């Protein structure tokens, strides 16, 4: 009999989720207001160390809303990582702004702050710092570039719930931050997102644009001064979110324990590089991403992934560089210059199962499968 497949990432829903959802349902508050919604917004923002949380329909809309609140629009340039998830690129494109890509660091997979300043022009308006796979960006040099050139900084913390930079939580390190609560994120509500900020004015702008630009104060006269969006979140989903938030410390600890488990058993395999944790960082290992140097291992990433799947271990390849994506190239053409790290990560990277609910026996099976897959040299 074949052992069951180990999924890359599944939500844990064993807390108060069922109770809170039923309570929300029975109360009749199924729409975009109610005690779970306000409780989740306030609770999650406070957890991040920020004053305001504005829940949204998903992480992509949270990014778009945050950029809109910052005033990013037509003719602006936004510095962002080349190695990241498409939602970041798309949010910039929705604003009519031009994404300007920055190559990655080889070990944290984050945007390399040393490459940032050379890309600043008169048109640059903002920087998006994505905390990739749970490892925080090195914020001090990023914020320094922003300060020197009068730029805004948006954190994309979709993958970094609970991660810390020099003892402070991601989500409270810059002007504004966006989170996702998609089913595979550390705090999951199915679909969902949140903008988090300490800035009263930005928070008010987010609430305004989230709700079709109805005035946030005073009477509704159905005169709309700006082009708004319906990016609202529901009380039912927030009920799940609040139950998840009660367990966030446990989930983060589980992720970190899984990473220690993998690190201990996979260290020293030739040609395999493991995720890092810089001295100033608390990595929450949303994904446990490894890179495979085919010259040293004798097999490439896709072959490796296939062999793991034969042994019941699911994996996912890393992102493809944003500068190669058609929606970007259709508007702005091909990007000049080299992005050697981003290209290498896209070729060599994959992530191993990392869900908070994984058991040691499953992690052990993954490690056994990794060793076996590397051992069988073909050709
Ligand atoms: C998941 C994710 C998003 C988008 O979130 P959705 O809720 O799926 O829209 C944005 N940025 C990053 C880095 C992500 O990992």
184-236 pLDDT, tens digit per residue, is 999 999 999 999 999 999 999 999 999 999 998 888 889 999 999 999 999 99
What are the phi and psi torsion angles at 144 (to 5°)? Answer: -65, -45
Residue 33 CA: distances (Å) to CA of 40, 214, 263, 340: 11, 15, 44, 47
87 three-class SS: helix
**Residue 333 CA neighbour count, 13 Å, CB half:** 2
What's the average model confidence in pLDDT over 58-62?
98
Of 245, 231, 208, 211, give the one whose Cα is nearest residue 64: 231
Q: The pTM is what? A: 0.97
pLDDT in tens, 310-359: 999 999 999 999 999 999 999 999 999 999 999 999 999 999 999 999 99
Task: Yes or no: say if 86 and 141 are a contact pair by the CB < 8 Å rule.
Answer: no
Q: How far is the CA of 135 from the centre of ligand 1 (A)?
A: 15
Q: How far is the CA of 87 from the centre of ligand 1 (A)?
A: 6
d(CA 250, CA 257): 10
What's the average model confidence in pLDDT over 268-289?
97
Of 160, 164, 103, 102, give the one whose Cα is nearest residue 133: 160
Strand order in the sheet with 281-282: 168-169, 164-165, 281-282
What are the helix and strand counts (H, E) for the chain? 13, 14
For residue 341 and ligand 1, the question of a CB distance below 6 A is answered with no
- Please choose from 109, 159, 187 the residue to mutate so as to test ligand 1's pocket, defined by most ligand atoms within 8 A of CB: 159
Q: How far is the CA of 150 from the centre of ligand 1 (A)?
A: 27
d(CA 302, CA 292): 10
Of 197, 165, 175, give the one whose Cα is nearest residue 55: 197
Residue 353 CA: distances (Å) to CA of 8, 334, 362: 4, 35, 9
């Amino acid at each position: 009999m074949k052992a069951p497949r180990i999924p890359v990432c599944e939500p844990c829903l064993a807390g108060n989720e069922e109770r809170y959802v039923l309570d929300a349902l029975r109360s009749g508050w199924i729409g975009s207001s109610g005690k779970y919604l306000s409780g989740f917004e306030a609770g999650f923002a406070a957890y991040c160390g920020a004053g305001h949380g504005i829940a949204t329909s998903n992480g992509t809309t949270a990014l778009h809303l945050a950029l809109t609140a910052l005033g990013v629009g037509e003719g602006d340039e936004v510095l962002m990582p080349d190695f990241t998830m498409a939602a970041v690129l798309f949010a910039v494109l929705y604003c009519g702004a031009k994404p300007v890509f920055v190559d990655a660091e080889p070990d944290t997979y984050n945007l390399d702050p040393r490459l940032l300043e050379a890309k600043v022009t008169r048109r640059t308006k903002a920087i998006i710092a994505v905390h990739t796979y749970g490892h925080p960006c090195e914020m001090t040099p990023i914020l320094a570039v922003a300060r020197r050139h009068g730029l805004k900084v948006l954190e994309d913390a979709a993958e970094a719930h609970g991660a810390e930079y020099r003892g402070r939580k991601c989500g409270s390190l810059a002007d504004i931050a966006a989170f996702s609560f998609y089913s595979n994120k550390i705090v999951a509500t199915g679909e969902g997102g949140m903008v988090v900020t300490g800035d009263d004015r930005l928070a008010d702008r987010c609430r305004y644009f989230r709700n079709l630009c109805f005035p946030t104060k005073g009477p509704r006269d159905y005169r709309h001064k700006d082009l708004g969006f319906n990016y609202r979140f529901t009380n039912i989903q927030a009920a799940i979110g609040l139950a998840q938030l009660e367990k966030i410390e446990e989930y983060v600890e589980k992720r970190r324990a899984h990473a220690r488990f993998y690190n201990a058993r996979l260290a020293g395999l030739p040609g395999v590089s493991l995720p890092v944790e810089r001295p100033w960082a608390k990595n929450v290992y949303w994904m446990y991403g490894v890179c495979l140097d085919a010259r040293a291992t004798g097999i490439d990433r896709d072959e490796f992934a296939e062999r793991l799947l034969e042994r019941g271990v699911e994996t996912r390849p890393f992102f493809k560089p944003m500068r190669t994506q058609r929606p970007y190239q259709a508007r702005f053409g091909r990007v000049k210059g080299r992005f050697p790290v981003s290209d290498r990560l896209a070729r060599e990277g994959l992530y191993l199962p990392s869900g908070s609910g994984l058991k040691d026996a499953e992690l052990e099976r993954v490690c056994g499968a990794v060793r076996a897959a590397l051992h069988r040299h073909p050709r």
